[in-house]
Structures are given as C-alpha cells and as structure tokens.
Amino acid sequence: MSRPDGQLGLFGDKEVALVDLLDRLLAGGVVLTGDLTISLAGVDLVRVSLRALITSIAPAGDGEPARQDPGPPG
Amino acid sequence: MTPPRIYVYAVCAGKPDTAGLAGVSGGTVEALPCADLVAVVGEVPAGEFSTERIDDHLQDLEWLARTARAHHDVVGAVGAQTAVVPLSLATVFHDRDRARQEMEARRDVLAAALGRVRGRSEWGLKLYRPAGPARESGGRRDRPASGSEYLRRRRAEVDAARSREDDADRAAAAVHDAVAAAAVDARRHRVHDESLTGRPEPMVLNAAYLVDDDRVADWRAAVEGAATGDLVMEVTGPWVPYSFAEAHGSGAAG
C-alpha cells in the first residue's frame, strides 16, 4: 500500500510496526476455512510470545518495580 | 516430495498484475479466478505450512514477522491496483481446487466485502494517556503527622490516579466518536500493553477507521479537530482494509 503523503506531523511516514500489522492480520482479514488456519488459541499465543520477546529485550534495572501480571490477553 | 500448499492472500474484483511479486516463504504469486472474483494465491512449502508445524512457527517471532510482512507486501501491492479484501494470516489449502472450491462457496460474502471496501482505505488511530504527576498533594513532601494522615493522603493519591484514568477513557471515547463520525465504519482493536508499545504512557484507544479515499482530508481534519492536549495521538495508514474485511455487528469490538 502506498505510504501516507505526510504533510502533517501527526501523519508522518513511518515503517509499519509489527504489532500494528499483527493486530490487523490476526484480528482482521476474511476468515475462510482453509485446510490449515491459525486458531484463535494461536493468536493469543502470538501475543504471549510478543510480550515475552519485548520484555526480554527491554533494558533492565530502570528502577521501575515489577509490573503486576496484566492477566490473560483480551 | 509433498507438493506445495496454496496460500491465499486476498480476493479482488479485477485481475491484478502479480508479476515479480514475492510471496510468503519466497514463493511465487499468481491470480486464480474463482467464480467472478479473483483470488491472489501462491505456493508455499507443505512442510512449513502443516498442522503439525504451524503452532511451533507461531511461537517463532522471526518466522511470524517474516510471514506477516510478506503477506502484507503482497496484499499491499494488489491493493494499489484494485479493490482488495485481505484474508486472515496463513489461510492455506492443499491445492488450487480446494482453494477455488472454498472461495466459490463463500462468493457472496467475499463480493459483499469487496463492495464494502471499494474506494476506501483503513486508517489507524492510537491514543495514549500521559502519565500523571507523581504526587497529587501539590508538591507537599512534609511527613504525615500521623498514620491516619498518611492513609488519607495515600487514598487521595489513589483516587486522583483513578479519576485521571476515567477522564482519559472518557476523552478517548469522545475522540473515537468524533473521528468515527467522519468515517464509513470504525472498529476498536485491543489496546496494547506497555511492554508492546515501548512507551511509558498507557494506551487508551487502538482503533481502525474505514475512510472514503476522496474524504481522507475531511477525516484528517476530524482527527486534528478532536485532538486534545490530554491525550497523545498516533495515526497510521493508509492500510488495506484488514479490519473491515469481515462484516461485524458492532463498531466497538474492543
């Protein structure tokens, strides 16, 4: 898809963030019964892995107390 | 060797030029006529796209990111040429006949979706609530005179934080309503946890809007008009209409 023309600061041209893309690719799109499709359980697994990844690469020890478990996605 | 599987990217009304497009797993991309519509499909390795392997792949972020971006690139290239309805990630059939069979069985639903998104694009809007002041007591840092004074102050801080959250939710809902009014349709996605956004401010709105291509300027004006100093805004788009491919009952799924 073409990039935004970006005359406004708010509408800047940025690379599509993976998390925004996954919102749309996993929660959007027409769902057809393929011979293989990602199950809804799989979608939640994706969110868990994303969170795990980002937590694992986030800088540690910034003085923030550990956040409470936000609970299961959704 | 097992023959390749057929990955379906999208459905469109006209026949798009797929020459030179690289698909998921580096596969080729082709147009496959199905009834009066055209599916955009490609071959993918059967070993990679098997029921046994897919759950493992979903745990593999590199695989997921690569697949999502390849899917997105194909859908975007097709969407630049003709009205397109994207399919959910990793919709895979054993062969072209099975894919065609399923498309033809769902022809009316797909045609209706194409009608809904033709001449329109999706735009995203995310709102964040800036963190409030660390203390609500006007900078007063003197020690509480008593335990009950301490508890009273603490309760006031908690109440103030909760009230900021409520205010932000109300403000976000008002922005969403105003921006949705300038769109054909709107849908709320789940808000992202801070660990996903990488921002200190909590996300209070993650929404998608279906906007007529010739009314984008009006929609942008609505976004700017709804802007409030109390919320941080982030706009993404234009997107192919992923969030509006499926008919959905309510505008607020999130």
A39 — pLDDT class (breaks 50, 70, 90): low
pLDDT of A47 higher than 70: no
Single out the residue of B102, B83, B81, B82 nearest to residue B34, CA to CA.
B102
Helix (H, G, I), strand (E, B) or coil at B39: strand
The pLDDT mean for chain A works out to: 58
Ranges assigned E (strand) in chain B: 5-12, 29-34, 37-44, 84-93, 120-128, 185-188, 203-212, 232-239
Q: Which residues have C-beta within 8 Å of that of residue B209, sequence separation ≥ 6?
A: B122, B123, B124, B125, B179, B180, B182, B183, B185, B186, B187, B219
Question: What ipTM did this prediction achieve?
Answer: 0.81
Q: Write down the pTM of the prediction.
A: 0.80
Tens of pLDDT, residues B112-144: 999 999 999 999 999 999 876 654 445 556 788
Indicate the residue of A11, A29, A53 with minimum beta-carbon distance to B220: A11
Tens of pLDDT, residues B68-77: 999 999 999 9
CB–CB of B220 and A8 under 8 A? yes
Give B236: exposed, middle or buried? Use CB within 10 Å, 0-12, 13-18, 19+. Answer: buried
**What does the pLDDT average to over B198-208?**
90
Asked if residue B226 lies in contact with residue B147, where contact means CB atoms within 8 angstroms, the answer is no
Residues forming a β-bridge with B127: B205, B233
Chain B residue with Cα closest to A55 = B195
Chain B residue with Cα closest to A3 = B238
**What does the pLDDT average to over B53-65?**
81
Element (H, E) at A48: helix A40-57
What is the pLDDT, as a whole number, of residue B230?
83
CB–CB of B89 and A70 under 8 A? no
Per DSSP, A9 falls in state G
What is the pLDDT, as a whole number, of residue B37?
95
Residue type, A57: I
Higher-confidence position of B166 and A55: B166
What is the pLDDT, as a whole number, of residue A45?
56
Residue type, B246: E
B96 — pLDDT class (breaks 50, 70, 90): very high
- How far apart are the C-alpha atoms of B101 and B114, rounded to whole Å? 19
- How far apart are the C-alpha atoms of B233 and B223, rounded to whole Å? 9
Look at B19-28, B60-69, B180-189 and tell me which has the smallest mean pLDDT: B60-69
Chain B residue with Cα closest to A31 = B88
Neighbours of A29 (CB within 10 A): 25
Higher-confidence position of A32 and B239: B239
Higher-confidence position of B151 and A63: B151
**What does the pLDDT average to over A8-16?**
49
What is the pLDDT, as a whole number, of residue A63?
36
